[in-house]
A and B are shown apart, each in its own frame.
Chain A
Amino acid sequence: MEIVYVYTKKRNEFGRQCNFSDRSAELHVDILPDPSLAVNFIERDPCDVPIQCTQEMSEHEVNTERFESDTRGINHVEGGWPKDVNPHEMEQTIRFRKKVEKDENYISTVMQLGNNMEHCIKQNNAIDIYREYFEEEEVVEESEVQPSAKTINVFRDPNEVKRTASSLSWHPDGSRKLAVAYSSLEFQKVSKDMSLNSYIWDIENPNKPEMTLKPVSPLVCLEYNPKDCHILVGGSYNGQIAYWDTRKGSQPVEMSTIEHSHRDPVYRVIWLQSKTGTDTFSASTDGQVLWWDIRKMSEPTERLILDPNKKGNLDNALGAISLEFETTMPTKFMVGTEQGLVVSCNRKAKTPAEKIVCMYSGHHGPIYALQRNPFFPKNFLTVADWTARIWSEDIKESSIMWTKYHTAYLSDGSWSPVRPSVFFTIKMDGTLDVWDFLFKQNDPTLSVKVCDEALNSLRVQDNGHFLACGSQLGTVTLLEISSGLCTLQKNEKALATAMFERETKREKILEARHREMRLKERSRSEQSKEEDTKEGDGEESPEELITRIEKDFYEIVEAELKKRDKGEEKKAIIELPLESDI
């Protein structure tokens, strides 16, 4: 059967009809090969053409819009009364109630429910059904719970132009609030519409900051007063220090005068232990450490210039980027510098020259974090360049323990306040590393990628359970650490003590050996001045020294290359001459 449908349309309703005609083929263009043009080209042989026979797939990302929730309560009002009963009329309600009570159904229901209820009540009275019995008999087999860190909350910078979260400070009482200082630390990247504000967040409410702090210039660092939870002190980008009282509003209560402040951004400000609880000190890359009393901000109470030659010369001074102060040792403090040196200072010294006690070198870049171990104050952690190092106060030549060189720059670090062997570091590629050196020394115990951008600041809460990290785009992430990493293990303190002692001893021995070798070289070169020994000493001028070292270096490199060219399969390890030989 043929199914046909005929469409009809009148001819004059069409457009003009097409008249086709046949034509023979015509040659329009003939381009002959021109060999002279080939000169401009080089023949490519072989040609690499990748071909792939796979399914074509596309990737899509979907992210829902931020869900803003608000907590509200409901007020219940009595209702449900039938239309004929006026709830305010006592008589009517009583009458209604009496009527219901006479209902058959009511009686039987209440009897039955009453029985059930009585059973439960008696149960409650007889024994506490929820109490943990047989607790002591449980063999506490610590199941190998994988250490983990969970993101609890994320606080984003509410402004359009994102700034770095450069410093974090937990509220001293119960840690329900987090103060975050925002600033743009990149050189000359400050735009006009960048907001200057810093915020205090309530950790339960990530939608809106609880309070805004409005400084004159963006704050680089911010600290709560551990004695008074309403007072915060902040160091700003233009070098001034300001302090806020959260009861008094967003404007700073007082600011230091520009003439007496720092000349560079204030990178760290710490509260001191004092009777009045109003002393702070601040450090900045202009090479000064200033002490302030917040009641009188017009002038610093004391000034220290970090001149390594101890002359108080500001031109020579090392830029300070981190400070360390432990309340158990109020006379000592340490400053981490931009040049990679840690300067240990004594507060009570009479002259500025005596203030600088000693310096620890070993880092290649600015020291972003410096903290003493809360359980072993003699050991401190420094985080700089691509490593984190642990030092002992007695060994000045090198650190006693250090991490390997990472691929990304480390930007901040901190000890765990509850476990002596655990510390945290954050890197510029957005990962947080948790190290437990009693468990594993070469790698972090836990490595978590917090966000895609660089992380800039880290603060652990006092209970060691939560920590907050701030990123370059102003996002502060609140993480919870698994309980294995924040509960003190048995013997941990003893093991950590043993480890620190062992490493310190090792470094001491190495230091002694180096000193011996140096003495030997010096005495040897003094005896034979004409001998051109490889181990030179200070008599060579710096240029000669440099050329000799260069020659040595290149010789060694060539030798190695030759060895490799010979086709050895083993990986070659380059042995550089010991530092002490130079």
Chain B
Amino acid sequence: MAEVEETLKRIQTHKGVIGTIVVNAEGIPIRTTLDNSATVQYAGLLHQLTMKARSTVRDIDPQNDLTFLRIRSKKHEIMAAPDKEYMLIVIQNPSEQPQD
């Protein structure tokens, strides 16, 4: 139990991370650092998208499965790690500075 807390806290404190959400298969947010309305939106929309992405991957190759989904938009990057029962969603603002 403590490890879960620690992991989530560590994720949240990474540079650029705006919010973290853990959702279950029914779309109920178990753990979230954002406000309720945003959480509900992210949970609902990303769940559908992940399902679609997963079915796409499996259609092409039934032995394959979706491990991670990354959506980069103009403002930030939404990362979703799906699992059978739960899904971890993180919204991060990626750094655009060029690294030498």
Contacts and interface: CB of A to CB of B under 8 A. Distances in A.
Interface in A115-161: 115-118, 120-122, 124-128, 130-131
A114 B11 contact: yes
A110 B27 contact: no
Given A101-B31, A128-B98, A130-B72, A109 B83 contact: yes
B70 A128 contact: no
A127 B1 CA distance: 33
Interface in B50-81: 67-68, 70, 72, 77, 79, 81
Interface string B77-100: 101010111111010101111110
Interface string B21-36: 0101011111100001
B interface bracket (residues with beta carbon within 8 Å of A)? 35 or more
B41 to A, nearest CB: 5
B11 A121 contact: yes
B40 A77 contact: yes
B4 A128 contact: no
A67 interface: no
Residue among A96, A117, A127, A128 having the largest count of chain B Cβ atoms under 10 Å: A117
A117 B28 contact: no
B94 A109 contact: no
Contact of B83 (A113, A121, A130): A113
A100 interface: yes
B94 to A, nearest CB: 4
Dominant SS among interface residues on chain B: mixed
Contacts of B11: 114, 117-118, 121
B36 to A, nearest CB: 7
Contact of A80 (B1, B28, B79, B90): B28
Contact of B94 (A97, A100, A101, A124): A124
B10 A118 contact: yes
Nearest to A81: B28
Contact of B30 (A77, A78, A79, A97): A97
B14 A122 contact: yes
Contact of B92 (A101, A106, A111, A124): A124
Contacts of B98: 128, 131
Interface string A57-80: 000000000000000000011111
B66 to A, nearest CB: 12
Contacts of A80: 24, 26-28
Contact of B4 (A79, A101, A118, A127): A101
A105 B24 CA distance: 11
A102 interface: yes
A114 B43 CA distance: 17
A97 B32 CA distance: 11
10 contacts: A76-B41, A76-B43, A79-B26, A79-B27, A110-B8, A114-B10, A116-B67, A117-B79, A121-B17, A126-B99
Given A101-B31, A111-B4, A128-B97, 18 more contacts: A97-B31, A100-B30, A106-B30, A110-B22, A113-B83, A113-B87, A114-B7, A114-B88, A116-B68, A117-B88, A120-B68, A121-B16, A121-B92, A125-B15, A125-B94, A125-B95, A128-B94, A128-B99
Interface of A: 76-82, 96-97, 100-102, 105-107, 109-118, 120-122, 124-128, 130-131
Please provide the 9 A-B residue pairs with the shortest distance between their CB atoms, ordered closest to farther.
Answer: A80-B26, A76-B44, A114-B7, A124-B94, A113-B88, A113-B81, A80-B27, A78-B40, A121-B14
